[in-house]
Structure formats: C-alpha cells, structure tokens
A and B are shown apart, each in its own frame.
Chain A
Amino acid sequence: MKFKHHILWVSLALASSSCEKFLDVQPKEFISDAATIVDRSSAETAVRGVYSALADGSYYGTSFQSIGYLSGDNIVWTGSQSQVQEFINKKVNADNSTISSAWISIYRTINRANNVIDKVPAVKDAQLTDALRNQYIGEAYFARALAYFDLARTWGGVPLITKPTINPTDNSGIKRSSVAETYAQVLKDLETAEPLLPATTDRYRATRKTVWALRARYHLYQKEWVKAEEYADKVISDATNYKLTKPFSAFFANDARGTTESIFEIFYNGTTEVNSHRGQWQPQTNGGTRQWAPNDALVALLNNPAVGGTRSALVAKDNQNRWYGNLYYRNPASDPSYVLRIAEIILIRAEARAQQDKLTLGLADLNLIRDRAGIAASTAATKNDLLLAIENERRVEFALEPHRWYDIVRTGRAPAVFSLSEANRYVLPIPVQQLLSDKALEQNPGY
C-alpha cells in the first residue's frame, strides 16, 4: 500500500509538470504587453496605433464629429435613435450613448499617445534615428493635444492623464482639472510637439505645420487674437502646399483625398480602416440609413446661389426626393475625416483680424472663402457685421463638419442663435457610466 502511495504522488507530480506546459496557451493574434515598443519598427507601429485611435468610429470616424454638427442648427434627425435628437434639442442626457463612446475613445487615444511618449524615448535601436524618434514622440504629443482640446471644448475641464496605463489601478480616481488647466495641457503638448516634428507637408500625419494649424484654432478659442492670426499666417503663407481647391467640392468629390485644401485629414482605406460615417448620411439606395440629414434651413442656404454657391455639392436628393448630406459617400467606406483644412485657417485669421479691428484684412480673408464658393464678395463694413458674416460663412462652409456648436458656444452667441441661455448646457454631461465607475469624477452642473 505504501508503494501505491508513492506511485500516486509520483504520478501526480509528473502529471502536474506536463500539465503546466499543457496549461500554457499563448495567443497568436495578440502579443503580450510586456514588450511592446522596443525598436524602430514597434515604435512606428505604435504611432500608427495612435492615428488609428483618432480614426475610430467613436472619435473622428463618426460619434465625436456628430456632437459638433448635430448640436448646431443644420441637421435634422430622421431615424430611431432618439439620443441623436438630444443634441438637436440641446438637452443631452448623461446616459447619451454618443457622448459615452466619444469620451471613451478620446481617452483611449490619450493612452496610446502616452505609451509612445513614455516608451519611445527609451528605445535603443540604431535604426531609430533622432529625427525619427522626435517625429514619433512629436506626433503623439500632437494627438494628445488634439484629444485634450476636444475634451475641453466639449466637456470643460477633465482629468489630465499623461502616463500610460499599465495596471488596472493606474489613471483611475483622478479628479477633473479646471478648463484652464486642461487648455494649458493642450498648449504645453503643442509647444512640445512643435520643435520635435519636421516642417514637412503630410496631410495624413502630424507635422510642425499641423501643429501650427491646431494652435491657430486653439488661440482662436482662447480669444488670443494675435496669436491666432500669427499661427494661421504661418500655415497660409505656405501657399505652395496649402491653398483652397476650386470648385469647393474638389477636396472631397470624385474620391479626392489629400488635396491642397487639407492640412490634416484622417486616412481610411475602406477595408481594414473603415469610416462608417457615410452610413448615417447616405440614403438607403446608397446603402446608408440617412439617420440624420441636412434640415430645411440648411438645404435652403446651401441651394441659395448667393449664400451656398458651389457648396450646394454638400447635399443631394434621393429617389424619394429627400435631401441627404453627401460629404461622406464613398463605397467601400473610405471617406477621409477632415480635421483641419485651409478654409478653416483662413476663416480663423479673418475672425482674429476682425477682432483686432483689422477689418479690411479680415474681410479679404472672408472673401477668399466666398470667392472659392462662387458667391459675391461680402461688403461687411463694421466689426460686428464682419464677425456675423464670418459666423454665417462658417455655418455653410462647415455645414457637415463639427464646428457649428463649438463656434456658437465659444463666441457666446448661443442665446441669440440657439435660443439657449442656460449656460450649464454649453458643456455636455460627463457620461453616466464614468460617474458610476469613478467616484472622483464630478458631474457638470445642471445634469
């Protein structure tokens, strides 16, 4: 019997050693997070991962963009998802699914950027030249700046996360910073990115010039008119690389991409990198759901030869005589997402100049845009007239892009334009799931 016991233990011991091997199964589709950014190649792929996060359907793919235009006064909701209507009504609930997915995907972008910022400096690889290393880190800083900028203008101050998450307890329970602190982080990241990045032209990835363009927008939002003009100027003066395409539709129609109009657009190939934005806009006959569409007011403006001009190309009619937005139309879904284009930088300069009472220069900028759209030059004579003309121009120029809501809120014109005087509504609620899972987060007032 003793012998039997021995056999039993020996057998169990042997069994358990071979079992250990048997129980060690490693994935093939994924790699361990223990060694992720270790050489030039893995640094490069991690940077692409950052862009991929920007391109996500919840960020610049669809959801985040939709917050910007649905909350304006151009779009009508035709579908069933009533959470869409909350933006149009400007009464967004904390359980709205779009704000939830956008919030998650922006912080996902930040975490990816943080991984690059944290790990690439330490990579030892002869192939990773200083120029490349700086470029990768600079691109990550740019992406993080854009992410915090989008968070700040949508929700106000947010938790500032600057280190990658390694363990589940990392980067949780961080209190919200103030709006000013959040914008300060944006500026800091842009200032860090600027010297790291090359002064080349790449319309799909961040360069020093992309940083300038975002800085122009940043200073506009901060009402720092001199700086806004200065940085807009830097971009506009590179006229060989950045100029308005004519006609208006030339930057997006006929499968165009990467035109001189673009300072930064996100690339999609339609197969492995899909921009599903078209599905919301296109009618059924084109394989979409036409979940939302340009409203009657916008259709009238765009089709008015004196207002929309060639920008009428943004809308089209389906086989049931209904209007639909046609900025995102490609099939397979490979439409670029337009983040920064030269028309915006010109209008930023126009506004910055107008605010500094440089009315003639500002008007000239505005008329560049009107001329490209094939409409008569504006004759706005006073500062207020010019600012209003710029505001109206932006409405039609960026009719289907995420500007209208942010523009009207940042200029303090929401009571007049949207009949929205309740200031609490100028920022959106923190998504309820985030409040449930992080006790340190505080909801915006009024939600």
Chain B
Amino acid sequence: MKKILSLWGLLLFTSWLASAQTTPTINATVSGKLIDQKTREALVGASVVIKGTTNGSTSDADGKFTLRTGQKLPFTVVVSYIGYLTKELIVNSDKVVLEIAPDTKQLSEVVVVGYGTLERKDLIGSISKIDPAESKTIQAGSFDAQLQGKVSGVQISSNTGVPGEAVNIRVRGATSINADNDPLYVVDGVFINNNSLQTIGTGGKATSPIADLNPNDIESIEVLKDAEATALYGSRGANGVILITTKRGSFEQKPKISLNASYGQAKATKLWELTTGPEHAQLVNEWWINTGKDTPSLNRTFANRPFRPVTEGGRGLPEEQQTYDRLSELFRTASLSNYDLSLSGGTKSTKYYIGGGLNTQEAIIKPITFQRASFKVNLDQKVNDNVQVGVSNTFTRTYRNQARAGDGPAGGLLQAALHTPTYLSPVNEQGVLVGRAGFDNLTLLLDNYNVNSASLRYIGNLYADVQLLPNLKFRSSWGVDYNNYNESEYWNNLLISGSPNGLATSSISQFTTWLNEQTLTFRQKIGVKHSFGVLVGNTLQSDLLTRTYAEGRGFANNQFTQISSAATTAASQSWSKSNLASFFAKIDYNFGGKYLIDFSARADGSSRFGNNRKWGFFPSAGVAWRIKQEAFLQDVRVLSDLKLRASVGVIGNQNGIGNFASQGLWTGGSGYQSSAGTAPQQLGNADLQWERTRQFNVGLDASFLDQRLNVEFNVYNKYTTNGLLQLALPATSGFSNYWSNAAEITNKGFELGISSVNIRKGDLQWTTSFNIARNINNIEKLPNPLRYGSRDLILQQQGTPLYSFWVYKELGVDPQTGNVIYDDVNKDGQITVADRQIVGSIWPKFFGGLTNNFSYKGFDIGLFFSFQYGNKIYNHNRFFGEGGGARDAARIIFAKNNQRWQKPGDITDVPRPDGINVNNYRDGGSRWLEDGSFVRLRSLNVGYSIPKSVSRKIGADQLRVYASGTNLWLLTKYTGLDPESSASSDQNQQGIDLGTPPQPLGVQIGINVTF
C-alpha cells in the first residue's frame, strides 16, 4: 500500500508541473475577500472571473482571492459559488470585499454526489435529497425507517413495530436472489455496515445496525439511484447508495447550542379477534365429529367428542369453558423519550460540531426496549491556506432488551400470548403457572425474560484536503467502522429454553471495516463556456468479522446467571474476512451550462471471487441537456427550467455473499464421539464473478413559475446478469447448492416527483410534495426454481417476479359441501403439489408519499401520507388461527372461524372444519394471501416557534414547541394488524406476517431551543 501512496505523490507532482505554466501580463492586481451576504462568513473555493475573459481566481480557505489582470480598474467580475446566486460585481479598487447571497431556490440546491457536491441544475444522474429534519419526529429506531414515502422509487417497509429492527429498503426494486439487495450506506465517506450482527434467535428478526446512527446528527441524506449517480461506487451501487452527511460547524461562527427534547407514547390500535373459550370448544367438537364422519375408522363421534361433560371423561361442555385474555397482558402503552444536545461553531481556522443524544423507546409489547446513547465530534482544521484536515467521529451504544416476537415456540411472546388457546388456563390444577400448547407461559416469560444486546459502534473518518493548485485538489481519507456487538441470554428453569437447570449464552461479534481512499480532483474552465473536471481515485477496503460464543447449562439456582457458574460449558469461535480494492475515474464536461456530459469508470477487485474473476470493470456515462438555456425557450417565462437527462452504465454487486463463496471447502466441525471430524462444506466455483446490473435512465426535470412548481420524472430499466445465487443442486451430489452466477433479473419502472409552493403570501406558506413510483420486477433467467419461507410460500422461478407467492389457489367454499374448491391446475382430479401456482407477489403496483407543509407566522403544520398499492401479504397468523378446530388444544382459533360453513346452503368463505392439511385447511392455501395495499398518515406535526423578541428574553435564538403523531390513520383491506409486517428479515422471505407486533400509533410533544 505504501507503494501506491508514494506513487500518488509522484503523480501529483507531475500534474502540478504540467499545469503551472502561464502568467498573464499585469496591469492591475486586486486582492479581495468573498463573504456570505447574511452570515458574513468567508466563502471558500468560489470562482471570481473577470467578465468576458477566462482570467479568474478561486477564493482560498479564508475567502481571499487575488486577481492579476491586463485590464484597468474598474472592471466587472462574475462571482459564482455553489449554492449561491451568481452575481456580477464591479471592482473599483484593489482591495474589495464582495458579498453574495445564497440561492434558496430548488435549482441551486446543493446536492452531495459521489466524491463531491453539485448544484441541482448541474445534475446528470438521478439523485434524491432528503431533509431529515422533516421526518425526525417519526417514531422509529433508525433514520431509514423514517424515510418511508419520502423518496420516489425507494420502497421502505418497516416489517415490525419493534424499534431498531431491520427495515427493508429497496431502491428501484431488487436485483439479486442471494447477494444483498440493500443499498450501500456511506456516512461521511465511510462505507458502513448494515448487516445485523445478531446471532440470538428472535424468530427471524434482526436488529438494524443503521439504528446506531442518531438521526439528529444527520445534516442531509442523498439517495443515488441511477448508474450515473452510483458509478463511482461502481461495485457497490447496484442497489443504490444512501449518502449521509453529518452536521459540521462553520468557520467564524459563534458557538451555537441546540437542545431538543421530546416525550411520547405509543400503542397498538388493533389486536387480533379471538374466539372465546366456549366458541373454541364448540369448533373443536364440530371438527371432531366431521372427521369422524369422513373417516369412520377414526371412531370420532358425538359421544366421545373432546368437550363433553367431565363426568363422561371429557373436558367439560363448551359452555363451561372459561376465556383467558393473554394479549392485554403482553401489549402495553409504550413510552419513548429523546434528548439531543449539540454545540457547533468555529473560529477562523477551526470548526466543530459536538453532539450528544439519548433515545429510549419501549416496544408496544413487553419487555422489549431500545436505547441509544450517541456522541458525535466533527472537527475541521485549516493547517494553512492550502491544507485542511478534519475528523468525523460517531460513538454509539445501543442497548436492547430483546425478545422473540417472531416465529418459533421457545420464548416466543406472541406464541405464548396469541397462539395459545383462550380456553386454557394459565395455571394447572395445583395453581402453578404452566405453558400451554407447546409454548411458554406468558406470565413466566414476561417476568423472566433476560435477553439483551449492547452494540458499541464507532464510525470515524480522518481526512486531509490539499489544494495543490487553485484547480487541483488532493484528498486522502481513512475511515473505520468498528462494531462490537455483545449479546447475552439467560433462560432460567421456569422457561422452556432454560429447562431443566438454566441456560446462559454469550456471543461477542466484532465487525471492523477499514477504508483508505485517495482522490485527485481537477477542475478547469476554458473560456466562458467550457468547464471540465477530472476525478481519479482509489479505495482499499477490508472487512473482518470475528465472533466468540460461549454457553453454559446447569445452574445451581436462578440467582446464578453467568456462564462461569454453569455445570457444563461450550464455546466456539469464528473468523471471516474480505478485501476490496478499487480504482475509479470520472471526467465531466459542461458546455455553457447547457450541455453536460460525463464518463465514469471503476475497476474493483474482490477477494470473494474466483482466482481469475476477482476484477470487475464498471463503466457509465451520462448526458444532460438544459433545454431552457436554448434561445428558443429563453422567452417562455412560465418555464423556469427544463432539463433532459440520460445515463447508462454497469454497476456491480458482491455484498451479502459468503466471504469464501468461490472456494471449495471442508469443515472441521463434523465431529463424532467428541473427536474432530471433517466433511465437505461447500463446492467451489473458480468462475464465480461479479453480479452486473446494466441500467438505463432517462429523466426530465421541469420547473415552472419561477421555480414554484418542480417536476422530476425518471424512467429506468435495470438488467442484472451474472446474478449471484446459491443455485440448487440435486441432493444426489451431496450438496444442496453452490454459489453461481446463474440468474438474470430485470427491474423496470418510473418515478415521478412533484413539489410545489402553492401559497407564498406574506407570512403564509403552503408547500406540497408528492412522489409516486412503479417498479416491475421479473426473473428473466433461473435454471432451477428456489423455494423460500414457511411452507414454501415463496417461489423464485423464471418468468415471475422475485418473492412471488406459491399457493394452492382457492376458488371459494362450496355451499353444498362446505369444502374449499381448489384450482386443479393440471386437471387430474387431485390436488397435489403440481397444482400450486403463483398468485401475486410482494411488489406493489405503485407506491409513494404525499407531504403538505403549512406555515403561518410562528405556526407550522406538516402532514405526511405514505401509500402503496397492489402488493400481497400472507397472513400466516390466520393460517394458524383459522385451523377450524383441527389444531384442538395446540393453537388459538380466530373469531373468523365462527363464520364457518355448517350446513348445506351456507354461503361463507370459511370452510367446514376438517383435518389439517388434508383438504380444507391445506398448507399454503390462498385464502390467507391478502391485499397489502395501504394509505397511512405517517406523520402529523404541529409546531409553534416563539417570536424571537420573546425568546431572546430567555437568551434563546430560537424556541419551537411541537406535537407530533405517527401512524395516526391507516386505510387498508389487510385483516392483520399491519400490512407492512414481515416475520423474517431474510430478503427471500418477505411478506409473511407471523407473530409480528404492528407499528404503533404514537404521539409525542417536544421542544427545540437554540442558544
């Protein structure tokens, strides 16, 4: 690596030699300073050009510039600076202070792009910028969960109401089966880990490492979507890139203290409707008698029905049964609080931001809580006129009380509370608390749950910027993402998992990414019209995951909870590493602000791939035409801007596959008789290579009425080849699958975003923004179908979208027999697995969001809806709960079963109770597959800013009080609690709702003060 660094140095030196050549004839020398009109702060890196010439200068770190010219004073200079209105100013002395004002309009909005910033009007790619301040009050653990509906083309599903758990984010669909479909997250230049380190089983759920970031520390979020925008992240960007810029201070800014405090509560608005004890018993009897009629050899009759009088040896008549409510013991009104305190400011050469935050959120089911304490220090220091160094530091401790809220019997909260039949008493005849139906006793579970995790996270970046020449900048940056994830469980002997004498586990996972990056940026104007830039750079990245696990069983009593006290212990250790080396370059050219074009290329080498296939090359190109700048549109006043953009490129993906996916491996973990044993682990594939996604994007940006109405429209087509997947092998090979590049997947779609200032009159302002997107996903090529999820509910096969539901299609209930009529696809008169078919998928036909903001004097109101339409969700709770009595004492029966068919002529959608998985209650029946469309009022904020004249009296610059609500209203046909629920965080098992607490309705009040 040293070699590379020193070579970079040489390269820089030679380029400096090459460009330092000419000096103009001097008639006047002007030295000046450039400042912001309002804040009076110096502006760094602004361009000052003498009008009508190419002679110009760039302001230095103090805002100072020098012009040497053949012209005589006075003359006119054109001052331009990113984010500011370009201004022509007359210079009439050799010492001047020039003032320019920020451009608050949309077109001049500064957008962070890969390795730089641009004004929106100069964008070629498709990039969405989000102001996190708008969504910060939404009750969720991580900032990404707060962005649902905010970004066009980005589908965000919360999956669960447990704060801080993994959120599903898809930027323009999903491109891969077994490699990751998550976007790349970049925080201040550091590629951070977004894969959960959780090892404890919580029923398919996983914690979100993104929840380690405090939303309050975030200044801006940019989502890069098309190939042009993500090109510089070539190997990582196939699923989009989310750039997070954290807050920094400003030079020469007096210290600013900002305090934000809020408190709120949350609760579920709806719970499952269950049968009462008598209803349950009635249904079981009916099932019993029905199956006796169907199969006489079973000898099931009215006389020996399960719920017959106790005197006859039964469980008592149905009407004698009690009803026990467990759900209300589990659910609670959760409280949450958030405190953020920050200090920012700067001197002439130093700027700083120091922030601290504490966020505590209870889940609406006991005993789950989420707590994040974060600390942030960003510092930037000018060493001299040409050198600036800085650091970004994020320290976080995220502590979770966890519990199994998903699938699985032992320790399952919703299994104990929801899936346990209501007629069963929580105590046995001796009055002792007992678990029923194979599940834990809820009270015991809630009293003894002891599962927690603490994530210590450090994300840091150290950079040095060197202005080698006015137009040549070198940057070197070192980044670290260190995550120490410490989990522990203690199951005492009252719980299933702890039987008979307690079980304790401890798992410590350490994930470290280090990153080194060099970039060299060159920007030159030639004449007034031509401007071009060159960026070259390289990145080296190394990811290391190590894990140490220990468990102990057999404790003296429940007072001892540490493994050191256990009778028997076991331990294990694991180690996994991957490296990535990348080189990238970009050339852009801007002709008169009218035609913009750029080319990017990135070459990536990954240690994960086969020996001859490690390197991938990913080129892309983009063009934009600002039609409005053409003479023929100059006079069309109503049109403020019109821009046509197009881009094409190839982007790679390798995230999420095994670090040693291409290698043939044997494991040493197949021991026998307590001695080591070896066995084949994985088949090698020396040809395993990068997954490649080719993406076309055409976009049109139009702005009307002095930029009061802005429209952005994008159409894209992504085609993924060499799709990484664990291709199924026939088991006769001794393996189930191997890593290959066998899949091809397409995502096509459009995105439309509209924002408008509806009213801007005096103190009154009303703005609206709306976005809608559609993505059509399809598997173009897949040699063997793959089945995922419980009961193989999801089938990935060629010709249908990813995550399609594979079910027995039900056509209804025959009013004569009460039996389900299944669609007999192959018409063989039998319903077999050959009759399973694809019925819908998790993909919505369209989705988006609508935001309205009103402000009048000190008052502000924000109203935000998110929606999606046309997606399917499998209500697996109903599958279990609507067993029609056949599961007897093993499961709850939902109230829906009260509407069952009972006699010929009954018109109903609930069939006659009979056996499980025989006919009417077949696994994978389509009647539990529901429409997951919804519209929700995601947030409503009402705030009041106290007039400065008043707030100043207590020394505050700004003082705002607010109240906000989250998920206040939901419109959906889904009969479960939350149409976004998903039991598993596995990307191939989405859309199956089982044992998932819903996203709650939340309200909170808060205060923001700035001193």
Chain A interfacial positions (CB closer than 8 Å to B): 1, 3-4, 7-8, 10-12, 14-15, 18-19, 22-34, 36, 42, 45-53, 55, 78-80, 82-83, 85-86, 89, 91, 93-95, 97, 103-104, 107-108, 110-112, 114-115, 159, 161, 164-165, 167-168, 170-174, 204-205, 267, 269-273, 284-291, 319-320, 331-332, 419, 429, 431-434, 436-438, 441, 447
Is A271 a contact of B679 with CB atoms below 8 Å? no
Residues of B within 8 A of A114 (CB): 734
Number of interface residues of B (CB under 8 A): 104
Is B311 on the interface with A (CB-CB < 8 A)? no
Can you give 8 A-B contacts (C-beta < 8 A)? A14-B4, A27-B663, A31-B665, A53-B679, A111-B735, A165-B683, A168-B685, A284-B434
User: A89 CA to B583 CA in the complex, in Å?
Assistant: 62
Contact call B833/A94, Cβ cutoff below 8 A: yes
A33-B684, A165-B735 known; A284 vs B890 contact (CB < 8 Å): no
Q: Which of B430, B659, B678 has the most CB of A within 10 A?
A: B678
Partner of B730, one of A112, A167, A172, A273: A172
- B-side contacts of A49, CB under 8 Å: 670, 672, 677-679
Contact in complex: A289, B434 (CB < 8 Å): no
Instruction: Tell me whether B553 and A331 are in contact (CB under 8 A).
Output: yes
Q: CB-defined interface of B898-918 with A at 8 Å, one 1/0 digit per residue?
A: 000000000000000001111
A42 vs B874: C-alpha distance when bound (angstroms): 48
Which of the segments B181-189, B206-214, B491-499, B851-859 contacts the partner chain?
B491-499
> When each residue 489-514 of chain B gets 1 if its CB lies under 8 Å from chain A and 0 otherwise, what string results?
00000001111110000000000000
Give Cα A164 to B499, complex, Å: 42
Q: Please, which residues of chain A bring their CB within 8 A of the CB of B106? A: none
Minimum Cβ distance to chain A for residue B569 (Å): 8
A-B contact count (CB 8 A): 300
Interface-facing stretch out of B122-130, B239-247, B328-336, B435-443: B435-443
Complex: A89 Cα to B291 Cα, angstroms = 12
| Bound: A402/B10 CA distance, A | 75
Binds A, one of B265-273, B452-460, B572-580, B997-1005: B572-580
**In the bound complex, CA of A21 to CA of B436 (Å):** 58
Q: Nearest-CB distance from A322 to chain B (Å)?
A: 9
Question: In the complex, A447 Cα to B917 Cα: how many Å?
Answer: 15
What are the residues of chain B within 8 A of A15 when measuring CB–CB? 3-4, 7, 538, 581, 583
Chain A: which residue is nearest B891 at the CB level?
A: A80
**Chain A residues closer than 8 Å to B18, beta-carbon distance:** 1, 4
A284 touches B438 (CB 8 A): yes
Are A46's CB and B7's CB within 8 A?
A: no
Starting from the known contacts A270-B568, A331-B553, A332-B568, 20 additional A-B residue pairs (CB-CB under 8 Å) come to A15-B7, A15-B583, A23-B606, A24-B607, A25-B579, A27-B663, A29-B667, A30-B665, A46-B677, A83-B917, A114-B734, A161-B733, A272-B671, A287-B410, A287-B499, A319-B428, A320-B428, A436-B728, A436-B785, A437-B785
A108 to chain B: which residues have CB within 8 Å? 731, 734-735
Contacts A32-B664, A33-B684 hold; do A285 and B498 have CB atoms under 8 A apart? Answer: no
- Known contacts: A25-B607, A49-B670, A95-B833. The answer to whether A80 contacts B880 by CB under 8 A is yes
Given known contacts A83-B917, A273-B672, A331-B500, is B792 in contact with A107 (CB within 8 Å)? no
Say yes or no: A45 contacts B678, CB within 8 Å: yes
Provide the bound-state CA to CA distance between A273 and B440, in Å.
26
List B contacts of A45 (CB < 8 A). Answer: 668, 675-678
Mask of B595-622 contacts with A, CB within 8 angstroms, 1/0: 0000000000111000000100000000
Q: Which 7 A-B pairs have the closest CB atoms?
A: A111-B734, A287-B499, A48-B677, A49-B679, A33-B664, A438-B730, A52-B670
> Which of B666, B730, B731 lies in contact with A36, CB distance below 8 A?
B666
With most chain A CB atoms within 10 A of its CB, the pick from B496, B728, B836 is B496
Does B22 interact with chain A (Cβ within 8 Å)?
A: no
Which residue of B432, B667, B731, B924 is within 8 Å of A107 (Cβ)?
B731
* Chain A residue nearest in CB terms to B551: A271
Evaluate whether A170 and B673 lie within 8 angstroms (CB atoms) in the complex, with A33-B664, A165-B683, A284-B439 already known: no
Q: Give every chain B residue within 8 A of A82 (Cβ-Cβ).
A: 916-917, 921, 923
Distance of A323 from chain B, by nearest CB (Å): 14
Establish whether residues A112 and B734, one from each chain, have CB atoms under 8 Å apart when the complex forms: yes
Q: A23-B607, A33-B665 are in contact. Are A272 and B570 (CB under 8 A)?
A: yes
State whether the Cβ of B14 lies closer than 8 Å to any Cβ in chain A: yes
Partner pick for A18 among B4, B438, B787, CB 8 A cutoff: B4
Is the CB–CB distance between A18 and B1 below 8 Å? yes
State how many angstroms separate the Cβ of B731 from the closest Cβ of chain A.
4
From B577, which residue of chain A is reached at the shortest CB distance?
A25
Is A18 in contact with B678, judged by CB distance below 8 angstroms? no
Chain B residue contacts of A12, Cβ below 8 A? 583
A290 → chain B closest CB, angstroms: 6
Name, among A48, A161, A286, A290, the residue most crowded by chain B CB atoms within 10 Å (CB to CB).
A48
Select which of B1, B410, B670, B733 is within 8 A of A170 by beta carbon.
B733
Q: What separation, in Å, do the CA atoms of A51 and B731 have in the docked complex?
A: 18
Distance (Å) between the CB of B584 and the closest chain A CB? 13
Assembled-state Cα–Cα distance A284/B889 (Å): 14
| Complex-state Cα separation, A26 to B576, whole angstroms | 9
> How close is A200's CB to chain B, nearest CB, in angstroms?
15
Residue numbers in B under 8 Å from A172 (CB-CB): 729-730, 732-733
Cα(A27)–Cα(B573), bound, Å: 13
With a cutoff of 8 Å between Cβ atoms, the chain A residues found around residue B685 in the complex are 168
In the bound complex, what is the Cα–Cα distance between A165 and B729 (angstroms)? 11
- A56's nearest neighbour on chain B, judged by CB, is B670
Contact flag A437-B735 (CB < 8 Å), given A23-B581, A285-B434? no
Dominant secondary structure at the B interface: mixed
Q: How far is the CB of A13 from chain B (nearest CB, A)?
A: 10
Residues of A within 8 A of B501 (CB): 331
Nearest-neighbour CB distance to chain B for A162, whole angstroms, equals 11
Chain B residues within CB distance 8 Å of chain A: 1, 3-4, 7-8, 10-11, 14-15, 18, 297, 409-410, 419, 428, 430, 432, 434-436, 438-440, 496-501, 538, 540, 553, 568, 570, 574-579, 581, 583, 605-607, 614, 659-660, 663-685, 727-736, 738, 740, 784-785, 787, 791-792, 832-833, 836, 880, 887-891, 915-918, 921, 923-924
What residues of A have a CB within 8 angstroms of the CB of B410 in the complex? 287, 289
Q: Is the CB of A441 within 8 A of B730?
A: yes
Choose among B11, B434, B499, B785 the residue that contacts A11 (Cβ–Cβ < 8 A): B11
**Contact B734 A78, beta carbon cutoff 8 Å:** no
Partner of A159, one of B432, B732, B832: B732
Query: Which of B575, B676, B836 is in CB contact (< 8 Å) with A95?
Result: B836
Interface centre among A53, A112, A284 (most CB of B within 10 A): A284
What residue in chain B is nearest A282 (Cβ atoms)?
A: B499
User: Which of B581, B659, B672, B888 is the most central at the interface, judged by chain A CB atoms within 10 Å of its CB?
Assistant: B672
Q: Which of chain A's residues have a CB closer than 8 A to the CB of B659? A: 25, 27
Query: What residues of chain A lie closer than 8 Å to B918, measured between beta carbons?
Result: 85, 89, 91
Give Cα A319–Cα B681 distance, bound, in whole angstroms.
Answer: 43
**Contact A52 B671, beta carbon cutoff 8 Å:** yes
- Of all chain A residues, which has the CB nearest B677? A48
A286 proximity list for chain B (CB < 8 A): 499-500
B575 touches A29 (CB 8 A): yes
On chain A, the residues within 8 Å of B3 by CB distance are: 14-15, 18
Cα–Cα, bound, A34→B727 (Å): 22
**Chain A residues near B915 (CB-CB < 8 A):** 85, 89
Contacts of A29 in B (CB 8 A): 574-576, 667-669
> Bound complex: CA of A159 vs CA of B674, how far in Å?
33
**Interfacial chain A residues near B880, Cβ < 8 Å:** 80
Q: Which of B439, B732, B923 contacts A83 (CB 8 A)?
A: B923
Residue pair A34, B664 in contact (C-beta under 8 Å): yes
**In the complex, A27 Cα to B684 Cα: how many Å?**
13
Q: Chain A residues with Cβ under 8 A from B684's Cβ?
A: 33
Contacts of A83 in B (CB 8 A): 791, 917, 923
CA A47 – CA B675 in complex, angstroms?
Answer: 11
Which one, B678, B890, B923, contacts A42 given CB within 8 A?
Answer: B678
Q: How far is the CA of A164 from the CA of B734 in the complex (A)?
A: 8
